[in-house]
Amino acid sequence: MTLHLYDTETRALREFTPLVAGHASVYLCGATVQGEPHIGHVRSGVAFDVLRRWLLAHDVDVAFVRNVTDIDDKILNKARDAGRPWWEWAATFERSFTWAYDKLGVLPPSAEPRATGHITQMVELIDRLIESGHAYAAAGDVYFDVMSFPSYGALSGHKLDDVHQGESIAEGKRDPRDFTLWKAAKPDEPSWPTPWGRGRPGWHLECSAMAEAYLGAEFDIHCGGLDLVFPHHENERAQSMAAGDGFSRYWLHNGWVTMGGEKMSKSLGNVLSVPNVLKGVRPQELRYYLGSAHYRSMLEYSDTALQTAAVTYRGIEGFVKRTVERGGDVPLGTWTEGFASALDDDLGVPKALAEVHATVKAGNSALESGRLTEAVGHASQVRAMLSILGVDPLDPHWAAEGGDDGAVLGALGVLVDAELQGRAQAKVDKDWAAADAIRDRLSKAGIDVTDTPNGPEWSVGATSSTDEAGQ
């Protein structure tokens, strides 16, 4: 494997060389558990799960840490408005995020630390920063002195004159560009004792302390959404490096899920929660959709785009399952060279999927011609490639998640496939009456067939699939 990744800090593709050969240390900024997860939240989980799976497939041991921010202004405010304890509010939605990640087949992290469980490490980090002259205490708060760190702005590209932290002006802050490490206690809010008085941590401080606690002073990759580059990741980098840590050697950021060109967020009111979206598609279909674009690109959401992705996935799934149904033992095989080349080039999933589709097409052709051994070989390759992308149709995870609906869809696909193959043969024989009869029979069963340049597509109710038998 010669993996190249786009590093946000250097703004260039860099060959990935881990600190320790055969071991990769990865930190992903996880959820601020203030409410139900929407599909924009979980895109980073899906995108960097592919990175993790690709490393694991090459026998690289991966320490993958994904944090939980369980103390935050938004959490406190929403819990207060709902008349619920802040810790109970945070725990409720932490479970919701865990459910969503698991539903989409995201591998569980090696560790999933909570901010509130690492106050000691945060206080120690602040103490180091104050001693080294990079931070100062004022009126119970503690601030990072941005001007004390010459390379501030290197990650985001921000110039010092343009820095706006988005924080309110507070007593004792020397420069509006400085950011908060520790917040003085307020009435009726949770707080912890420190040498500077009771209070709670600032958001940026949390990840620096947790990353060091689990991955060390220097680690390989820091991941997160593009919206975190500034101020969150810029500030993480500054405070950790100012304290003497090497911190992250590569910075990876995924693009947003957008609606109408705008970032999906609760403030815009354009949220699509994972539970609601899963009422219309299966979990593996949603994962396929979220992971189908390049991780650094924006993904413009529409229901049509989601349903199209679901149809595409069902076509791939149908080929693998038909191969099994026809007596083929389909083990996990080996991906194609084109697939490997695509993923080694900054996790180029779109090009990797082109390899999947080409292999499916060749496999369908082999099935139609009765060449089962050849079809099995293609299906094994498809499974290997989809396994890296986290959507292998024969993965037991999806059997468990699919339930009866998944089983019914698979059985229906086999039956419809047989009918469509008969229709295709009738067309070859110019027996138009027989072809129309098959179409009418499917229509009476509630199955609509549409002929497209890529072959017939079929749908039933809100569920649809693609079959390439007529190509």
Chain centre distance of CA 379: 26
Which candidate, 447, 444, 446, places its Cα nearest to that of 467? 447
In eight-state DSSP terms, residue 231 is I
- What phi and psi values does residue 258 have, to the nearest 5 degrees? -115, 160
44 in the same domain as 117: yes
Q: CATH number of the domain that 135 lies in?
A: 3.40.50.620
305 in the same domain as 383: yes
- As a whole number, the mean pLDDT across the chain is 91
Give the per-residue pLDDT at 97.
Answer: 97
Give the per-residue pLDDT at 470.
Answer: 33
Model confidence pLDDT, tens digit, residues 234-280:
999 999 999 999 999 999 999 999 987 888 776 655 668 999 999 99
Residue 268 lies inside a defined structural domain of this protein: no
229 in the same domain as 341: no
Give the per-residue pLDDT at 327.
Answer: 83
In eight-state DSSP terms, residue 388 is H
The answer to whether residues 177 and 234 touch, using CB atoms and an 8 Å cutoff, is: no
Give the per-residue pLDDT at 424.
Answer: 86
CA-to-CA dists, residue 293 to 261, 348, 409, angstroms: 16, 8, 26
Residue 405 in this model has a pLDDT that exceeds 60 = no
Residue 266 lies inside a defined structural domain of this protein: no
318 in the same domain as 426: yes
Residue 471 in this model has a pLDDT that exceeds 50 = no
* Torsion 287-289-295-299 (CA) sign: negative
Tokens of 191: 């707080």
Burial call 53-84: b when 16+ CB within 10 Å, e when fewer? bbbeeeebebbbbbbbbbbbeebbebbeeeee
Tokens 């992290």 locate to 109
184 in the same domain as 51: yes
State mean pLDDT over 410-414: 58
The answer to whether residues 49 and 107 touch, using CB atoms and an 8 Å cutoff, is: yes
Torsion of CA 98, 103, 109, 110, to 10 degrees: 110
Number of folded domains that form the chain: 2
Residue 463 in this model has a pLDDT that exceeds 60 = no
Give the per-residue pLDDT at 281.
Answer: 95
**Rounded Cα distance, 237 and 251, in Å:** 10
247 in the same domain as 363: no
Residue 411's pLDDT band (cuts 50, 70, 90)? low
Q: How many CA atoms lie within 13 A of 227 on its CB side?
A: 13
Residue 111 lies inside a defined structural domain of this protein: yes
98 in the same domain as 20: yes
CA-to-CA dists, residue 431 to 299, 422, 423, 426, angstroms: 45, 11, 9, 5
Give the per-residue pLDDT at 462.
Answer: 37
**Rounded Cα distance, 8 and 17, in Å:** 16
Residue 262 lies inside a defined structural domain of this protein: no
Model confidence pLDDT, tens digit, residues 276-304:
999 999 999 999 999 999 999 999 999 99
Residue 439 lies inside a defined structural domain of this protein: yes
Q: What is the pTM of this model?
A: 0.85
Residue 201's pLDDT band (cuts 50, 70, 90)? very high
Burial call 341-373: b when 16+ CB within 10 Å, e when fewer? ebbbbbbbbeebbebbeebbbbbbbbbbeeeee
Residue 258's SS3 state is strand
Give the per-residue pLDDT at 408.
Answer: 53
Residue 305's pLDDT band (cuts 50, 70, 90)? very high
Residue 461 lies inside a defined structural domain of this protein: yes
**Rounded Cα distance, 157 and 338, in Å:** 34
Pairing of strands 218-225, 247-254: parallel
**Rounded Cα distance, 349 and 385, in Å:** 10
Residue 361's SS3 state is helix
* Torsion 254-220-335-286 (CA) sign: negative
In eight-state DSSP terms, residue 469 is T
The answer to whether residues 420 and 467 touch, using CB atoms and an 8 Å cutoff, is: yes
**Rounded Cα distance, 327 and 133, in Å:** 71
Which candidate, 390, 385, 367, places its Cα nearest to that of 321? 367
**Rounded Cα distance, 37 and 31, in Å:** 8
172 in the same domain as 59: yes
Residue 112 lies inside a defined structural domain of this protein: yes
The answer to whether residues 4 and 344 touch, using CB atoms and an 8 Å cutoff, is: yes
Give the per-residue pLDDT at 267.
Answer: 64
Which candidate, 225, 137, 229, 222, places its Cα nearest to that of 178? 137
Model confidence pLDDT, tens digit, residues 10-44:
999 999 999 999 999 999 999 999 999 999 999 99
Residue 310 in this model has a pLDDT that exceeds 70 = yes
Q: CATH number of the domain that 425 lies in?
A: 1.10.730
228 in the same domain as 298: no
**Rounded Cα distance, 354 and 383, in Å:** 14
**Rounded Cα distance, 230 and 165, in Å:** 9
* Domain membership of residue 193 as a residue range: 4-254
Residue 468 in this model has a pLDDT that exceeds 60 = no
111 in the same domain as 250: yes
**What does the H/E/C string look like for 292-337?**
HCCCCCCEECCHHHHHHHHHHHHHHHHHHHHHHHCCCCCCCCCCCH
Residue 57 lies inside a defined structural domain of this protein: yes
45 in the same domain as 171: yes
Give the per-residue pLDDT at 407.
Answer: 44
Sheet strand arrangement including 447-452: 447-452, 455-460, 463-466
The answer to whether residues 229 and 156 touch, using CB atoms and an 8 Å cutoff, is: yes
State mean pLDDT over 167-179: 88
84 in the same domain as 152: yes
